[in-house]
């Protein structure tokens, strides 16, 4: 039995942010037994780890991040999307043909995820099987709950990143089989986005989805160009989501729709129907000027929402920075589009923790029965004021860095 004392903040729902001053979290075998204002008498003889005025919060979930782009973070942010992809991103991804290069990048990438409090993630690899297996190994050894994809793309891409369709399917099936017994890092089908995939490839991925009961992550209606191009490439498809439905790729959870900035009503209906997750990547869409997700509207529609760092179009690996950016962008969108309401800090914190964590079993909250995947925040209080625990967490999301994360717990064990 492990008992921790400190200021406690966590989400029960999008609008219910729980705050407990100098409370207790009781943990056994990595599972939370309860959160208490006063420690029950039955625990009186157990040792208490007291964090003083530090704040205990759930760990974060990143639902869209490109691990191979880690070396390019913070570079070429003055470019728009197409130039950025072809000048920097695609040439970098080609280097992962060499598994040794992958090992040099992926282990530091995983360490940086953890350092910034991200203990659950949906991650893109590249088209290269061996390199993506290196990424799986790094995550599995660390015990990070994750969905990882070997990327598929067989058209309208640089020659050095195009696969032959059947080879792409064969390599993907090898990837699934090799990682089928993983405990933490699970395979996920990853067609990059519709215009880079033939319908033959998508249909064959749909068969793999059914055969192995495996979900999908992809970029959906990320830009106006992509939404229109998808319909041009797939004659008869009324919207981006219909392409994936017709290919049999909406039938097996999870379905993770990155960006989701320009959905039509049918896109929205199909995403809700398959219980998919729309992933907002606030900093990324600012850097490449893609647009602003209608986050408040999606929440009001009952659509699941998560956050993604989207390295390296996004500059910061810490999801807490996306909490602040999402609130800012929702206010900006509301200014120009009044029917899109701004979101609250409580809603954004929920999305980054319990909302995103819902892809995995019982992570993202400090409620009873959840895994104790948690962070302890330090050094955010001023001597001349007295901020509440909620205010300290908000300050961390706007001003904090990894240096403010004093302790990291994964399933009850300190990392």
- Give mean pLDDT, residues 234-257: 95
- Domains of the chain in sequence order: 2-58+364-414 (2.30.40.10), 60-357 (3.20.20.140)
User: Which has more confidence, 77 or 150?
Assistant: 150
Mean pLDDT value across the chain = 96
First-residue to last-residue Cα distance in the chain: 18
Over range 406-413, report the average pLDDT.
98
Q: Give pLDDT tens digits for 356-370.
A: 999 998 999 999 999
pLDDT at 276: 98
pLDDT-based confidence at residue 82 (cuts at 50, 70, 90):
confident
Please check the confidence at residue 220 and state whether its pLDDT lies above 90: yes
Residue-level pLDDT at 219: 97
Rg, C-alpha atoms of the chain: 21
pLDDT of 309 higher than 90:
yes
pLDDT value of position 289: 85
pLDDT at 123 over 90: yes
13-60 per-position pLDDT tens digit: 999 999 999 999 999 999 999 999 999 999 999 999 999 999 999 999
For residue 225, pLDDT beyond 90? no
Nearest C-alpha neighbor of 356 from the set 58, 55, 66, 16: 58
Provide DSSP, 243-273.
HHHHTT-SSSS-EEEEE--S--HHHHHHHHH
Q: Going by C-beta distance under 8 Å and a sequence separation of 6 or more, which residues neighbour residue 116?
A: 60, 317, 318, 319, 320, 402, 405
pLDDT tens digits for range 324-338: 999 999 999 999 999
Determine if the peptide bond prior to 229 is cis (ω within 30°): no
Average confidence (pLDDT) over 129-137 = 98
Residue 307, pLDDT > 90, answer yes
pLDDT value for 334: 97
Per-residue pLDDT band for 9 (boundaries 50, 70, 90) equals very high
Share of the chain above pLDDT 90, in %: 92
Q: pLDDT tens digits for 167-206?
A: 999 999 999 999 999 999 999 999 999 999 999 999 999 9
High-pLDDT (> 70) share of the chain, %: 100
């Amino acid at each position: 039995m492990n008992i921790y004392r400190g200021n406690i903040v966590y989400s029960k729902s999008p609008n219910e942010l729980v705050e407990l001053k100098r409370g207790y979290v009781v943990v056994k075998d990595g599972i939370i037994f309860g959160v208490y204002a006063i420690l029950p008498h039955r625990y009186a003889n157990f040792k208490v780890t007291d964090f003083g005025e530090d704040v205990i919060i759930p760990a974060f979930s990143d639902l869209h991040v490109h691990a191979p782009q880690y070396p390019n973070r913070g570079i070429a942010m003055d470019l728009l999307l197409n130039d950025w992809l072809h000048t920097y991103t695609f040439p970098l991804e080609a280097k992962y043909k060499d598994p040794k290069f992958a090992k040099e990048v992926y282990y530091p990438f995983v360490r940086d995820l953890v350092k910034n409090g991200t203990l659950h993630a949906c991650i893109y690899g590249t088209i290269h099987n061996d390199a993506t297996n290196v990424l799986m190994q790094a995550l599995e050894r660390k015990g990070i709950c994750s969905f990882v994809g070997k990327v598929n793309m067989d058209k309208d891409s640089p020659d050095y990143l195009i696969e032959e369709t059947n080879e792409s399917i064969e390599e993907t099936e090898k990837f699934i089989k090799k990682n089928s017994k993983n405990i933490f890092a699970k395979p996920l089908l990853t067609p990059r986005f519709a215009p880079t995939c033939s319908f033959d490839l998508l249909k064959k991925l749909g068969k793999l989805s059914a055969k192995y009961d495996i979900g999908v992550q992809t970029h959906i209606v990320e830009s106006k160009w992509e939404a229109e191009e998808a319909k041009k490439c797939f004659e008869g498809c009324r919207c981006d989501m219909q392409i994936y439905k017709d290919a049999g790729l909406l039938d097996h959870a999870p379905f993770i729709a990155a960006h989701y900035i320009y959905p039509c009503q049918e896109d929205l209906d199909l995403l809700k129907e398959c219980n998919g997750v729309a992933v907002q990547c606030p900093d990324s869409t600012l850097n490449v000027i893609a647009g602003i997700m209608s986050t408040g509207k999606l929440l009001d529609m009952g659509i699941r929402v998560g956050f993604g760092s989207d390295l390296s179009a996004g500059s910061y690996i810490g999801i807490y920075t996306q909490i602040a950016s999402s609130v800012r962008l929702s206010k900006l969108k509301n200014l120009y589009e009044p029917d899109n309401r701004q979101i609250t800090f409580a809603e954004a914190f929920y999305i980054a923790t319990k909302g995103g964590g819902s892809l995995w079993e019982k992570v993202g909250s400090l409620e009873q029965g959840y895994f104790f995947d948690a962070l302890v925040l330090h050094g955010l209080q001023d001597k001349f004021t007295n901020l509440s625990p909620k205010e300290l967490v908000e300050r961390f999301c706007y001003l904090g860095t990894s240096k403010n994360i004093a302790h990291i717990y994964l399933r009850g064990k300190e990392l």
